[in-house]
Structure 1
Amino acid sequence: MTVWDRPEPPSRPAPLDRQRIVAAAIALADEGGLEAVSLRKVAARLDAGPMRLYGYISTKEELFDLMVDEVYAEILPDEQPGDWRQVLATRAHRTRQATLRHQWLADLLGGRAVLGPNALAVTEADLAALDGLADLDTVMRAVETVSAYVIGAIRREVANLRAERATGLSERDWQRAFGPHVSRMLATGRYPALARAVHDGTDVDAATSFATGLDWVLDAVAAKLA
């Protein structure tokens, strides 16, 4: 029986429920990452005994599942966009925005499917937007392909943000610090394609890079659907 199917125990002596537990866990994760989350720390945040939480959640993995599903509620748009492309693009951008607000989410995306109601609603919206446009296998591969791009791009962006915090260097500062080394390596002539990219390529921010890559992936999906 999943955590969503299992009934909650009576909330006594002090009021307690899964929603409060999950909210406290998300607050801890937002402050210190997933390593800051434990049932003991969540219980302390709620001023409750740790053993009381086991009536609501059996394992930390169940707690993570509930946390992810709670954030998926932020990904669901208030109104369903128009065509399939708008649906998938909206979901992609809202997933990125939610992950930037809750950067620990990047560590939990891409594994086994989350089976909570909000995550299932997001998947349902994606599949429904493409329903009837191609055979079922093509529709499923299209959704998987967009999801793979979104997850990979988000993880890369979050990894860069974490590196900035860990080193105290912004992306621009890091480029300046390692610029002399890169220049020496490029001057050897062994990396001509890379040299052209460094000297002649356009430097764009993370949001622009994400949007451009997403457009290209959606173009490929459109071609396959056609």
Structure 2
Amino acid sequence: MVMTVWDRPEPPARPVPLDRERIVAAAVALADEGGLEAVSLRKVGARLNAGPMRLYGYIATKEELFDLMMDEVQAEILPAEPAGDWREALRNLAHRTRQAALRHEWLADLLGGRPAFGPNGLAVAEATLAGLDGLADVDTVMRAVETVSAYFTGAIRREITYLRAERATGLSKHDWQRASGPRMTRMLATGRFPALAKVVHDGTDVDAETSFATGLDWVLDAVAARLTPPPA
């Protein structure tokens, strides 16, 4: 049996005081500053004034470190109180995940990966599934959670990609629209893109939060049609 990082005991903390909590906190700080590419056991060790070999006593691989970082942020996603109904449970999961990703943009790069089996990840899963308990058979409930998760994972990644592009180019969304506007106008004037022209001229521009919430409500409406109680 493979022992997970959560099951392995920590080595003695001498001569330099060290534990997984401090290691993960340092790694999260590095990732917040420079993304996942800024995280390495060497850099984490340097921040803690400990050699990288010391860290291998606590964490075997960088992937394990990422698992621990992910679980640390799951604590921010866990709701403080049980949800009132299934919609609130899934809406909480979506919005709280988005808020966590806006605080820790690197989270977007880990969403949709391996299941989170850390204590906080399990608590988030339990809180979410408890809100859907008894609404349908287990397989239907799982597909409902997966569908909502697929939506908010994609939406969050898209939003974070936009934010990163703004920083990289120095152009806000509206700056970019103004810069690309003349070419778009010329292309639409050719008449080759009538559907796109209708969207550009008649569509309503909304902020990221409104777009996220609207799309989430549509997905929840679709899920509602599938959540029928199992036969007695």
Residues 1:136 and 2:138 aligned together: yes
For the residue of structure 2 that corresponds to 1:161, the secondary structure is helix
5+ residue gaps in structure 1? Answer: none
Who is 2:25 aligned against?
23
State the distance in 2 between where 1:118 and 1:190 align: 52
Q: For residues 146 and 126 of structure 2, what CA distance do their matches in structure 1 show?
A: 13
State the distance in 1 between where 2:183 and 2:32 align: 36
- After superposing on structure 2, the runs of 4+ consecutive aligned residues of structure 1 that deviate more than 3 Å are none
Q: What's the CA shift string for 1:109-142, capped at 9, x where partnerless? A: 1012121111111111221211111111110000
Partner of 1:111: 113
Matched, 1:166 2:174: no
User: TM-score scaled by structure 1?
Assistant: 0.98
2:75 aligns with: 73
SS in 1 for 2:83: coil
Q: 1:81 is paired with a residue of what secondary structure?
A: coil
The correspondence of residues 172-191 of structure 1 with structure 2, limited to 5 A, is 172-191=174-193
Normalised by the length of structure 2, the TM-score is 0.96
The residue identity in structure 2 corresponding to 1:220 is A
Of 79-88 and 55-64, more deviation after overlay is shown by 79-88
RMSD: 0.7
Cα deviation for residue 197 of structure 1 reads: 0.5
Deviations 1:55-90 (A, max 9, x none): 000010100000000000000011112111011101
| Residue in 1 that maps onto 2:11 | 9
Q: In 2, Cα distance between the equivalents of 1:87 and 1:15?
A: 40
Aligned to 1:32: 34
User: What amino acid is aligned across from residue 129 of structure 1 in structure 2?
Assistant: G
Percent of pairs with identical residues: 81
Q: Which residue of 1 aligns with 2:47?
A: 45
State the aligned residue count: 226
Query: Which is helix-richer, 1 or 2?
Result: 1
* Residues in 1 aligned to 2:9 and 2:151: alpha-carbon distance in whole angstroms: 37
Give the secondary structure class of the aligned counterpart of 1:224.
Answer: coil
Q: Within 2, Cα distance between the matches of 1:201 and 1:29?
A: 37
- Structure 2, unmatched stretches of 5+, are none
